[in-house]
Structure 1
Amino acid sequence: MEERHKNIKPTYDLVVKKVFRNEEVALQFVKDIFELPAKSAKLIEGNQIFTANSNVESDFNIAVDILVELDNHAQVIIEVQLAKQVFFINRIWAYLCKQVNDNIERLKQNEEEQLAIYKKLPPVYVAAIVDQNYFEGDDAISTFLIKEETRNTELKMYVDNDTKEMPLLKIVFLELKKYKENLNNDYKKIRWLEFFGNKQYTSEPDDVLVQADNLLNLRNWTKEEKRMYDEMTRQQDHYWASLTYAQEEGIRQGIEQGIERGIGLGIEKGRAAGREEGIEQGIEQGRISVIVNLVKEGIITKEMGAQKLNLSEQEFETYL
């Protein structure tokens, strides 16, 4: 399917933040994805821009990607992930818990609110927009709630000044690569897969979605925003190119080394045997290079890298 925008990727950090700075767009996204009754939304966090190859540890210390607060005080964290991370769900949980704790600390600062902390404590939800698949099956949108194990009763809470109960926890994953036409979901949700996946809309977009789409038009951007986006694109392209090069270079070197070893077995026979051995070694060397790069980029841990290569952590250290 042809992309709506040729020169922009809607899931890059700078672009996502530009989109959700528009509070009308943020409100519609939250209402569509979480089915929450809300009349207004404001952006609490989302101005800091992360570079394409940001370090995981520093990202954790900075903040969440986007934090939106609704007029009923409910809060929604919006996280976007391009590369698959083994501990991404753990990371989401850490962000969510940290936000709840921050809310408690904020309420403690006001003496009057100290007596009503639990009454005023808002629910926190998470929307994860991911460019890689995390779950089995074909469902592009996965919603997780807290429910009683046998009765399937959902755990809910009251929010101050709101007579309706709200879900205690709600985490929604939008897996962009699982998008296909005629998905069996509410189109109000599907259109956000189309928006962030840069797909053509299968239904006429309403005014809010048109407004969101206009934010992706580079002609409407400032020079500074264009410069930052160009830099982010170069970094991201370099990152993926370096992984591809590492694998290809490992295969090439392995073939050459294998052929050299094979010469000792005889010229013709040696070349055939050496090439076969070299390809195998090259693939393995390329695999090692990719895993090492993933660890250096902070996408997986050293422990996970060692496990994937069937090495001890001490043996794996020699490659870093």
Structure 2
Amino acid sequence: MENIRHKNIKPTYDLVVKKVFRNEEVALQFVKDIFELPAKSAKLIEGNQIFTANSNVESDFNIAVDILVELDNNAQVIIEVQLAKQVFFINRIWAYLCKQVNDNIERLKQNEEEQLAIYKKLPPVYVAAIVDQNYFDGDEAISTFLIKEETRNTELKMYVENNTQDIPLLKIVFLELKKYKENLNNDYKKIRWLEFFGNKQYTSEPDDVLIQADNLLNLRNWTKEEKRMYDEMTRQQDHYWASLTYAQEEGMRLGIEQGIERGIGLGIEKGIEQGIERGIEQAVITLMKNGYISAEVAAAQLKVDIEDLDKYL
């Protein structure tokens, strides 16, 4: 059996991630480690959605965004966690980031004293994407994206009020948990978060902040309401995977029956293939209709564009 730290909890579930980063000391340390930003404090912006009422992003478009952390140097960090690979995920991240910048502008406009200094006070927005499925080729578990000049490799930075130096205009960091392995060629301050969210044993002695974060994963320290919510979330996830497994098994059964009815040899093989495919399609659509998965996840499972889902309904 895999040697994991916590047997009864998954650190990447939405409720767990929010509980971890509600601790501002942990949130600050994560952001400092991953983005190398000069910050002394951080605060979690509460709420289920990071966007203000001015945002015109559809409500179901915001579900996957977990938290928004704001630093004392005015930078903001969107932390996004994905359990399943999603179609157009990069586009989503860009939309989240742009909408947050837009909402910051709208907020500054509402303050008459700041209208003349909107761009002076505009904070940068960064994104940390913690993903349970791989998105990029290669073995690198941590990928950092910046804006740089094409030939001189000069990084584009921006002025931020009250900072002693300009800081990156854009920074998007992906942590691909499945690419984790011991002795990765990265700064261990970053690697330890792969170990934390990947539920791996630590390869170096954890410091006080990481111990504090790990204690938040101990269900004995949770309230009854938190445990109830986590149990419900786990039940939905288990139901989702069980439904897909049932669809495969039922598809196999139907396929064999159809194959036998058609004859031998290729007929059985073809029947099995068609039965499995039809069973999975039905299960995925049922899960989407019942709200267990989003349209994006359904499209990814069926390997179609979201616009083509109508033909399955």
C-alpha contact (below 8 Å) 2:144/2:172 kept by paired residues: yes
2:270 aligned residue = 277
Please give the root-mean-square deviation of Cα atoms over the aligned residues, in Å: 2.4
Separation in structure 1 between the aligned mates of residue 65 and residue 295 of structure 2, nearest angstrom:
17
2:296 aligned residue = 300
- What is the Cα deviation at residue 303 of structure 1? 7.7
Q: Does 1:214 align with 2:215?
A: yes
- What is the Cα deviation at residue 293 of structure 1? 5.7
- What is the Cα deviation at residue 254 of structure 1? 1.3
- What is the Cα deviation at residue 207 of structure 1? 0.1
1:298 alignment partner AA: S
Q: How does 1:176-187 map to 2 (within 5 A)?
A: 176-187=177-188
Identity, % of aligned pairs?
85
Separation in structure 1 between the aligned mates of residue 8 and residue 300 of structure 2, nearest angstrom:
35
Q: Which runs of 4+ in 1 moved over 6 A?
A: 301-307
C-alpha contact (below 8 Å) 2:29/2:209 kept by paired residues: yes
Q: Does 1:225 align with 2:230?
A: no
- What is the Cα deviation at residue 282 of structure 1? 2.6
Separation in structure 2 between the aligned mates of residue 304 and residue 216 of structure 1, nearest angstrom:
30
2:253 aligned residue = 252
C-alpha contact (below 8 Å) 2:26/2:213 kept by paired residues: yes
Separation in structure 1 between the aligned mates of residue 297 and residue 234 of structure 2, nearest angstrom:
25
1:300 alignment partner AA: E
C-alpha contact (below 8 Å) 2:34/2:173 kept by paired residues: yes
Alpha-carbon displacement from aligned partner over 1:32-86 (angstroms, at most 9, x marks no partner): 00000110001113567xxxxxxx9533256831000101110000000001101
- What is the Cα deviation at residue 319 of structure 1? 3.3
Separation in structure 2 between the aligned mates of residue 184 and residue 171 of structure 1, nearest angstrom:
19
Separation in structure 2 between the aligned mates of residue 44 and residue 71 of structure 1, nearest angstrom:
13
Separation in structure 2 between the aligned mates of residue 236 and residue 36 of structure 1, nearest angstrom:
35
- What is the Cα deviation at residue 195 of structure 1? 0.2
Q: How does 1:101-180 map to 2 (within 5 A)?
A: 101-180=102-181
Q: How does 1:39-78 map to 2 (within 5 A)?
A: 39-45=40-46, 58-61=59-62, 64-78=65-79
2:100 alignment partner AA: Q
Residue 304 to residue 191, structure 1, CA distance change in 2 (3 Å): closer
Residue 306 to residue 230, structure 1, CA distance change in 2 (3 Å): closer
Q: Bigger radius of gyration, 1 or 2?
A: 1
Residue 89 to residue 115, structure 1, CA distance change in 2 (3 Å): same
Counting matched residue pairs gives: 301
Residue 210 to residue 145, structure 1, CA distance change in 2 (3 Å): same
- What is the Cα deviation at residue 6 of structure 1? 0.5
Residue 197 to residue 46, structure 1, CA distance change in 2 (3 Å): farther
Alpha-carbon displacement from aligned partner over 1:240-289 (angstroms, at most 9, x marks no partner): 11122212211210110111121xxxxxxx4x454223223234334544
Where in structure 2 are there 5+ consecutive unaligned residues? 50-56
Separation in structure 2 between the aligned mates of residue 93 and residue 294 of structure 1, nearest angstrom:
27
Separation in structure 1 between the aligned mates of residue 137 and residue 311 of structure 2, nearest angstrom:
35
2:201 aligned residue = 200
Separation in structure 1 between the aligned mates of residue 128 and residue 77 of structure 2, nearest angstrom:
7
C-alpha contact (below 8 Å) 1:78/1:126 kept by paired residues: yes
C-alpha contact (below 8 Å) 1:250/1:289 kept by paired residues: no
Where in structure 1 are there 5+ consecutive unaligned residues? 49-55, 263-269
> Normalising by structure 1, what TM-score?
0.87
> Normalising by structure 2, what TM-score?
0.89
C-alpha contact (below 8 Å) 2:12/2:83 kept by paired residues: yes
